Structure 1
Amino acid sequence: MTGPGRGPAWDAAASAAADAYPRVVATLIRTTGDWTLAEDCAQEALVLALERWPADGVPANPGGWLMTVARNRVLDVLRRASVERRKLADLAVLEPAIASEEPAPGEREDIADDRLRLIFTCCHPALALQTRVALTLRAICAVPTADIARAFLVSESAMTRRLTRAKAKIAQAGIPYRVPAGDALDERLPGVLAVIYVLFTQGYNADGEPAFAQEAIRLARLLARLMPGQSEASALLALLLLQHSRREARRDTEGRLVSLDRQDRSRWDHTAIDEAMAILSDLRHAPRAGPAGPYALQARIAACHAAAPSVEDTDWRRIADCYDQLVRLQPSPVIELNRAVAHGYAHGSAAGLELLAKARAGGALDDYPLAVAAEADLTARAGDRDRAAHLFREAAARTQGESQRRALLDRADEM
């Protein structure tokens, strides 16, 4: 974002600082064992960087610069607090990481592990999901507490207390600051990926905070780079890139939401689409590639939309097949809803309405306005425009977001 006092130089500095920040925080947490001290000192270094770098230029080693400033600040605080000599001695291990633009061969794995430790600690299942998302935003992405609070519709003081309790729980419950191994990693990784996906949807939703979606993509990219053997981590990155590629086309010139079938596809980010397609191609041709996981299946669905020149040319049968696999692998009412819509396009509106009725039978979608909107769309395609208009208005009445409500009312008027 640019504005008064900001421009390309500031953006370049902010990007470099954001990339280096997780490494600095993670290393300081590991070394000091003090989350608050590590975050405070890294934040001070980040503020100083954004003051100086636009004028002085981004240093050759942004991470080393931030580490030097943050480490010196930690030393000042510890000296003033008369902390035991052992912690001061421990901090000396940070100096090798400052010396050169690239870490030494023996240090590269430690630095990567630090960032992974921080991600897995923030996303520990002992914490509530929203707390995991908030802690990830604060500790890894350096998002101000006030911005996080606004996104979660709570006061800044309430969010500060929530984050403080989370850090205290990590300390008091003895939550280990490490990456799990073996079977434990397989059990924990889906939870980490879920946090990143929730963070993305928090920013991608119609009235969400766009910066959160960008942070989620940055985290997914980091995780995929640090865990190249985990196919679902790469698949999640591809999925987020494909979904985010449509952001600019999701609103018209008046700011109204535009549904996928009506978007101007020339406005999609085809650079992001190409990157995602390359990731999916690599996954398909990877040695010993196993069955597709839930994020891989969702990415394949998004890829079908991205590859089609129009909604009529979309491979709906392949999408329906992916949803058939996904609902067996990860059954949920929302996935069943999306499956019904896909079958409605692939095999006719009657088939879609039949599956939708089954998805809604248990009552789990009763308060979900998009279920009503899906029924309205399938009903319109079946030719009953009066009932479709009624259903679109019903969906609008149940929707809290103003952008989505207006879009549904527009569809009702079209009927």
Structure 2
Amino acid sequence: MIIKAQVEAIYRNESRRILATLIRLLGDFDLAEEALHEAFFVAVERWQQDGVPDNPRAWLVSTGRFKAIDRLRRQARFAASQALLLAQAEALEEADWSTEDVQDDRLRLIFTCCHPALAPDAQVPLTLREICDLTTEEIARAFLATPATIAQRIVRAKGKIREAKIPYQVPSLAELPERLDSVLRVIYLVFNEGYSASTGDDLTRDDLTREAIRLARLLMELLPEPEVMGLLALMLLHESRRPARMSHSGELVLLDEQDRSLWEASLIAEGCALVEEALKTRRFGPYCLQAAIAAVHAEAPNAGETDWLQIVGLYDVLLRMLPSPVIELNRAAALAMRDGPLAGLQQVDGILARGELLDYHLAHSARGEFCRQLGRVKEARQAYEKALTLTRQTPEKRFIERRLAEL
């Protein structure tokens, strides 16, 4: 049982890194996934007899490689394309399997998943599935789509990579800028799933937020552009609040009620410095502006001293640059803090009247909060009840239930 628990822990912490390396070495997503699972299956049996190796990741990569070669040779016995499969197996045996002095395999994999030859609506689901091990159900909830739709997009994207022989590599510096937007979007979605999990008993998944921040740091080393700095700053500033976002009893704590002494000062300092550096270039974009908003929150000693005038102004600029109902909703919350709950409610009602965010629980939750503050109890209850039917996260459900009980 001890060995099994160790294998499970290694799978949780290392499987996506091992998979990324196997995809690079084998050149095929499906073959690499099969090899990964076979390697872990062998590890459960072998390690009980021989003990856990000094370098489990290298052992699993090597075992996965041999399993892939065996699989190709077995298939060759029964396939019409016997010569092709045998040639593929021999090529894998003869290939240079050294993993020294190579760039990070997960960063390579992100660029492969975000290749411009792939449909935009498939790039992010493929990356979230392969890099972060999210299920198709989790990805579907994040995109308000059906699991079958997401699964089809992922299958088509894998087929396109295989048929078009899309290279598994970080693009050249000349190619990087045109590929950057997709990669930044993917990294931010990975962070968001970790910062506010779409489902489950836990508010956050720190494995995903750590991974997103690590990937952003790697990307900044490769391409120190203002928007890369802005995204890293944004994630660091949000991550700094993690210790204060949950009470000791596991309840959700809103931003204006958080104990700011629990915020991590080192992350705030790094994030604010990156924001300042990025804004100085005057080539900033949406991530820099969102990071600037987060920095204003971080620099306020308490909620009452937050500069809401500046935050609303930054949201105005952000909306002109990137029109979005979600950004508009966030601006409504800031507007309510500056001008009162009625101003916020009018903005939210305008969004919902256009038919936007009708299935977004935070829109209804915000409406419930504004109505509660205005004493419009019946409307507040209806809005919170609607939000409760839409959220799938246990801490958020409990928070909304508390609000309903208070009403």
- Asked whether the 8 Å contact 1:239–1:298 carries over to 2, the reply is yes
Contact 2:113 2:126 in 1 (8 A): yes
Aligned match of 2:384 = 396
Give me the whole-angstrom Cα distance separating, in 2, the residues matched to 1:33 and 1:14.
21
C-alpha separation in 2, matches of 1:6 and 1:266: 41
Q: 1-side partners of 2:37 and 2:5: how far apart?
A: 22
Match of 1:224 among 205, 208, 217: 217
TM-score relative to the length of structure 1 = 0.73
Of 153, 176, 182, which aligns to 1:191?
182
CA 1:11–1:408 in 2, change beyond 3 Å: closer, same or farther?
A: same
| 2:234 aligned counterpart, secondary structure | helix
- Which string of whole-angstrom CA distances, capped at 9 and with x for unpartnered residues, describes residues 52-91 of structure 1? 49x95663x5554443333233333334436344652455
For residue 94 of structure 1, give the secondary structure of its aligned residue in structure 2: coil
Q: Please, what is the CA RMSD of the aligned residues?
A: 4.2
**Superposed displacement of residue 332, structure 1:** 0.9
Q: Offset of 1:295 from its aligned partner? A: 1.9
Q: Secondary structure at the residue paired with 1:292?
A: coil
Mapped to 2, the partners of 1:11 and 1:318 lie a distance apart of: 48
Q: How does 1:9-408 map to 2 (within 5 A)?
A: 13=10, 17-18=14-15, 20-28=17-25, 32-46=26-40, 52=47, 56=51, 59=54, 63-80=57-74, 81=76, 83-85=85-87, 88-89=90-91, 91-97=93-99, 103=100, 107-108=101-102, 111-112=103-104, 114-124=105-115, 126-127=118-119, 129=121, 131-141=122-132, 143=133, 147-149=135-137, 152=140, 163-172=154-163, 175=166, 177-180=168-171, 185-205=176-196, 208-209=199-200, 214-215=207-208, 217-228=210-221, 229-247=224-242, 249-252=244-247, 255-266=250-261, 268=263, 270=264, 274-275=266-267, 277-282=269-274, 284-285=276-277, 289-349=281-341, 351-353=343-345, 355-356=347-348, 359=351, 362-378=354-370, 381=373, 384-385=374-375, 387=376, 389-399=377-387, 400-401=390-391, 403=394, 404-408=396-400
Whether the 8 Å CA contact 2:140–2:147 is kept in 1: the answer is no
Q: Name the stretch that deviates more: 327-336 or 283-292.
A: 283-292
Which letter does structure 1 place at the counterpart of 2:386? R
**Deviations, residues 19-78 of structure 1 (Å, cap 9, x unaligned):** 7425413422xxx4322112222343355567749x95663x555444333323333333
Q: Distance in 2 between matches of 1:155 and 1:188?
A: 27
Cα separation, 2, equivalents of 1:401 and 1:360? 17
Q: Deviations over 1:165-215 (max 9, x none)?
A: 432233346655454556753343222222333344344446525576632
User: Are 1:206 and 1:401, in contact at CA under 8 Å, matched by a contact in 2?
Assistant: no
**Distance 1:375-1:189 versus aligned 2 partners, 3 A rule:** same
Show structure 2 runs of 5+ residues with no match. Answer: 77-81
- Separation in 2 of the partners of 1:361 and 1:151? 27
Letter of the 2:292 counterpart: R
> What secondary structure does 1:140 align onto?
helix
Instruction: Specify the SS of the correspondent of 1:96.
Output: coil
Counterpart of 1:95 in structure 2: which amino acid? W
Alpha-carbon shift at residue 330 of structure 1 (Å) = 0.9
Distance 1:287 1:354 in 2: 32
Native 8 Å contact 1:197 1:216 kept in 2: no
Contact kept in structure 1, 2:69 and 2:89, CA below 8 Å: no
Change beyond 3 A, Cα 1:170–1:250? same
1:335 CA displacement: 0.8
Paired residue type of 1:21 = I
| TM-score under structure 2 length normalisation | 0.74
Task: Name structure 1 gaps, 5 residues minimum.
Answer: 98-102
Larger relative contact order (Cα-Cα within 8 Å, sequence gap ≥ 6): 2
SS state of the match for residue 162, structure 2? helix
> Does structure 1 conserve the Cα–Cα contact (< 8 Å) formed by 2:184 and 2:228?
yes
Residue pair 2:381, 2:404 contacting (<8 A) in 1 also: yes
Contact 1:204–1:213 (CA under 8 A) maintained in structure 2 = yes
**2-structure distance, mates of 1:13, 1:220:** 21
